[in-house]
Amino acid sequence: MKPVPAAPRRRRKRLDLTPWLFLAPAIMFFLVYVVVPIGQSISISFLEWDGLGEKKWIGLQNYQDLLKDEAFYVSLKNNLIWLVLYLLAIPAGLFLALFLNQTVTGMRLYKSLFFFPFVISNVVVGLIFSWFYTPDFGLMPKIIGFFTGEEIAVLANESLATYGIVAAGLWPQIAYCMILYLTGLNSINPELVEAARLDDAKGFKMLWYVILPQLRPATFIALVVTVIGALRSFDLVAIMTVGGPWGSSRVLSYFMFEQSLSEYGTSMGYGAAIAVVLFAIMLVFITMFIVRMIIQERTA
């Protein structure tokens, strides 16, 4: 008998097409809104362009300027401060979650009070903290003044402004990490904790050897959102200090906006170069996260 290869081949072709059809919408949006803009940013970073007029190819000139620009190093340093201090949100969130993970009457009310900063907009958070720091009527200068006899205007101080903004940013971020940890704590098998009690694991030992390893997925997510949140910080800087005083609280994303889109500058090429640098820094962390995820999936 003659073999009939036609029918199976057609079926195979259809099977090959199906996953692509399902992926198509996502791929399309990802291309249009993520991949193409990345490419565009990179290509614009090689130009001198005011956004409307003529484009001029200047090669790596923008990057060379960047390396000589003091403001760039200030932004980079501030991003580093953001990154390091923002990570405090993870242990703080864990502590709050452990504290709130009790059965006490009215605990739901207390929990919702702790959720509150996560619910309100970052703009509102920035405003509240600005008022809190304000020299005339703010609470913070009064408190500091009471103890030291000298009132400090945090946001007007070159060396303190960034720390003041990070503190404001930590408020909702701690709430976010706390939510992640609370759901993680909920999914721990209570018999496991009881077994550990019988195994004489108490207090810190219980936390370190039994609870924390169970919370590793929550810790991982908290780390990812906190690192990325620290690197892309923009809104609080824009609301609270507008990068000041004298540009001392700029971060890369705000510096980029200032150079290319604000009233102070329209150099699209220079702004794009800053964006590319920020993207490269993020890429390092994102690659680390993805590699870790792949390793975990393989070993699990």
Partner 1 sequence: MAKVKLSGIRKSFGQSEVIKGIDLEIPAGSFCAFVGPSGCGKSTLLRMIAGLEDITHGSLEIGGQEMIDVAPAKRGVAMVFQSYALYPHMTVAENVTFGLRMANHPKRDTEQRCLEAARMLKLEELLDRKPSQLSGGQRQRVAIGRAIVRNPDVFLFDEPLSNLDAALRVEMRAEITRLHAKLDATMLYVTHDQVEAMTMADMIVVLDKGMIEQVGSPLGLYHEPNTLFVARFIGSPRMNTFSVNLCDAGDGNVSCMLPGGSSIQLDGSSLRTGKATFGIRPEHLDVVADGHLQGKAVLCERLGSETMLHVDIGLADPITVKADGLTNVTEGDAVGLKLNPKACHLFGPDDRRVRSGSLQ
| Dihedral sign from CA coordinates of 150, 249, 171, 98 | negative
Q: Indicate which single residue of 16, 191, 263, 297 sits in contact with partner 1 (rule: CB under 8 A).
A: 191
Q: Indicate which single residue of 205, 217, 290, 294 sits in contact with partner 1 (rule: CB under 8 A).
A: 205
Nearer to partner 1 by C-beta: 186 or 189? Answer: 189
Nearer to partner 1 by C-beta: 54 or 200? Answer: 200
Q: Which of residues 208-227 bind partner 1 (CB under 8 A)?
A: 209-210, 213-214, 216
Question: Among the candidate windows 119-127, 139-147, 205-213, 239-247, which touches partner 1 by CB under 8 A?
Answer: 205-213
What own/partner pairs with CB < 8 Å and gap ≥ 24 does 219-225 have?
219/90, 219/94, 220/289, 220/292, 221/180, 222/89, 222/90, 222/93, 222/176, 222/177, 222/180, 222/181, 223/87, 223/90, 223/289, 224/289, 225/176, 225/180
Q: Indicate which single residue of 8, 194, 291, 293 sits in contact with partner 1 (rule: CB under 8 A).
A: 194
| Contact (CB, 8 A) for 246 and 265 | no
Question: Among the candidate windows 76-84, 194-202, 223-231, 254-262, which touches partner 1 by CB under 8 A?
Answer: 194-202
The residue among 71, 43, 92 whose CA lies nearest residue 256 is 71
Tokens 């590319």 correspond to what residue?
276
Is 199 a binding residue for partner 1 by CB under 8 A? The answer is: yes
Q: What are phi and psi of 56, to 5 degrees?
A: -130, 125
Nearer to partner 1 by C-beta: 211 or 278? Answer: 211
Q: Indicate which single residue of 10, 142, 197, 292 sits in contact with partner 1 (rule: CB under 8 A).
A: 197
Interacting residues with partner 1 (CB under 8 A): 189, 191-192, 194-202, 205, 209-210, 213-214, 216, 300
